[in-house]
Structure 1
Amino acid sequence: MLEASLHEGQLLTLLIMALALGMDAFSLGVGIGMRGIRLLDILKLSAVIGLFHVIMPLVGIVAGQYMSLLLGHVAALTAGLLLILLGGHMLIASFRGDGGATPSFVDHRTTGGLMLFALSVSVDSFSVGISLGMFAADVVMTILLFGLAGGLMSVLGLLAGRRIGRSLGSYGEAAGGAILLTFGILFLL
């Protein structure tokens, strides 16, 4: 009986952590969705984000015995800087009226941009994985919950951003950039 309640407690804890980590994917999704995104791109981006939310904590769990305090700070700093870069670029492009002239490293439709976006929202999963590795969390349950939450939250964010972006018209990209920039600054604080 005690073992069953411990397992349920671990499941609930991991589910809450997965949803919290997925909020980054949701907020990024809103920002990208406001620029306008096709349904196929929503599926591709969400699948890659979900995959990164599996790989990054798994790597973190494996490395869980090493340098958790240092890497936790570095992961938050990296995620914050990436989001500031992406949000700042979106803001500048919207004011310049580039009309989609986005460098490939920040364009979610390119392989590099896709990887950059997925990394920016899943790098904190790596540091959480390190902590979980030191506490001997159930690895399979952890990575499945993190991957599902990351993918689902990004789909929801992208769809919400897409709908909001249609309402905002030409201001959608500026609003999305401001959201990403704000989250990047919050990561650094």
Structure 2
Amino acid sequence: MSLFTLFALAVALGTDAFSLCIGIGIAGVNRRQIALISLTVLIFHILMPLLGWYAGGFLGSKMGQAASIAGALLLLYLGGKMIWDTIKPGKDEGPRFVITNTGGLLLLSASVSMDALSVGFTLGTQQVSLVLAAGVIGLVAGMMTFAGLTLGKYVGDWIGERAELVGGIILVGIGVKLFF
């Protein structure tokens, strides 16, 4: 996997955090909260792909090409779901998620990192440097979280959905690329 593809993957994974954090930023956060949330999401986006990586590496050694195909299909599914969630009719806009304690912070970080767990599985079936992949994914997710929280203080809701749509398209594109 090229560095460009890895970076595109990291951006796609960071869009969940970015779009959600715009909403959190709109609800109101201070600098300390922005730093804490960004750091926690960064850490989760490093740990989750590592967990998935080891599972994917194990399955890749046992299943060979079938594991690579399964990884590509997983990316296609995740990207398609992100796209569908953005464009589906009759979306229910629930209440904004506001972090009030450590549990909320961990829940937020885990929820926006679940895709990274699945992508870690896919990466485990590819020839990619573990340290590089986890580092790039974590750093990009942390920066996108920071950007989302900061922008949320100044910009309306409309950016969040568009970011998730773009992220879904990127994941689908990478999933298709893994087939070739």
Q: Give the match for residue 29 of structure 1.
A: 21
Q: Which has the larger radius of gyration?
A: 1
Q: Is structure 2 residue 57 aligned with structure 1 residue 51?
A: no
Regions of 4+ moved over 6 Å: none
Distance 1:119 1:13 in 2: 24
Report how far residue 11 of structure 1 moved.
1.4
CA contact (8 A) 1:49 1:118 kept: yes
Q: What code does the residue aligned with 2:48 have?
A: M
Cα deviation 1:110-152 (Å, max 9, x = unaligned): 1111011111211100101101101131100000000100000
Report how far residue 46 of structure 1 moved.
0.3
TM-score (norm 1): 0.65
Q: Share of identical aligned residues, percent?
A: 36
Distance 1:107 1:23 in 2: 18
Select the residue among 61, 72, 81 that pairs with 2:53.
61
Distance 1:114 1:107 in 2: 9
TM-score (norm 2): 0.68
5+ residue gaps in structure 1? 1-8, 81-86, 91-105, 166-174
Q: Give the match for residue 164 of structure 1.
A: 155
Q: Which has the higher helix share?
A: 1
Note the 1:75-94 alignment, pairs <5 A.
88-90=94-96
CA contact (8 A) 1:41 1:109 kept: no
Please provide the CA RMSD for this pair: 3.3
